[in-house]
Amino acid sequence: MTRLARLRKRTSSGLALAVALVAVGIGYSFAAPSSSAQDTGLSVEAMAGQEIYENSCITCHGANLQGVEEQGPSLIGVGEASVYFQVATGRMPLAQHEAQAQRKTPVYDDAEVNQLMAYIQTYGGGPELPAEEDLRDGELAEGGELFRLNCASCHNFAGSGGALSSGKNAPSLNQSSDLDIYTAMLSGPQNMPVFGDNQLTPENKRAIINYVQTLNETADPGGLSIGRAGPVPEGLIIWVVGIAGCVIACFWVGTRS
């Protein structure tokens, strides 16, 4: 066989191999399982949330949201309300493990929070965000009564927060948005109980929000504020400061004499 014939044979063999590989690739692309949103059963938004979850949450909450011992609780069934409260207020992801997650600047923007909510909602459902846009159209007087009955023992009568056991605390509500307060009542974060619609109706929740936000937005007419603690502690402070001032004045007059 001449040199030219051998070259032609090798070229034809290479072309045949290339054509075969292309054909196999095309066939596999049609036959292989697709990872589209339709095949996974997730919406496009939920798939984006899954990517965020796998990058930032999976270490503490597990590959299937089942939770990891001594790292993070299960997220199955917590619903989008819990995700909103924890993520939109910057409490999650945690900077470090401590007694209580503290409010801080959020890591994710609104679109990313919505994506996480859509993904975690697919695992067991759970409390959803309210459909109403106005969350403070409830009765103010009713909201004050409900707040004092259900919330003031931990958050203080003025919503300024208070200490709890084991290094935890009921946070101040003066920075909380309407949706923060509503989703906290729905999800019951940390030591807070869950106030489902059987315990507090949506109308009750809106009344409480109206009361809290009215406190936050109304100026304190009593001069130097000590957190709206009321007339008894304010009077006690005036009494103690006044008596101390009188004693100091008496000593000063005595030393001058």
Q: Which residues of the chain, if any, have pLDDT below 50? A: 32-35
Query: Which fold is adopted by the domain 140-217?
Result: Cytochrome Bc1 Complex; Chain D, domain 2 (1.10.760)
> What is the chain written as a DSSP string?
--HHHHHHHHHHHHHHHHHHHHHHHHHHHHHSPP-SHHHHT--HHHHHHHHHHHHHTHHHH-TTS--BTTTB---TT-HHHHHHHHHHTT--S-SS--SSPPP---SS-HHHHHHHHHHHHTTT--PPPPS-S----S-HHHHHHHHHHHTHHHH-TTS--EE-STT-EEPPSTT--HHHHHHHHHH--TTSPP--TTTS-HHHHHHHHHHHHHHHHS--TTSS-SSS--HHHHHHHHHHHHHHHHHHHHHHHHHH-
pLDDT at residue number 1: 54
The second-level CATH assignment, the architecture, of 42-121 is: Orthogonal Bundle (1.10)
Whether the domain at 42-121 and the domain at 140-217 fall into the same CATH topology: yes
Query: What local confidence, expressed as pLDDT, does residue 254 receive?
Result: 82
Q: What per-residue confidence (pLDDT) applies to 257?
A: 67
For position 35, what pLDDT does the model report? 47
Sequence ranges of the domains in the chain: 42-121, 140-217
pTM over 0.75: no
Q: What is the pLDDT of residue 10?
A: 63
The pLDDT of residue 34 is: 47
pLDDT of residue 240: 87
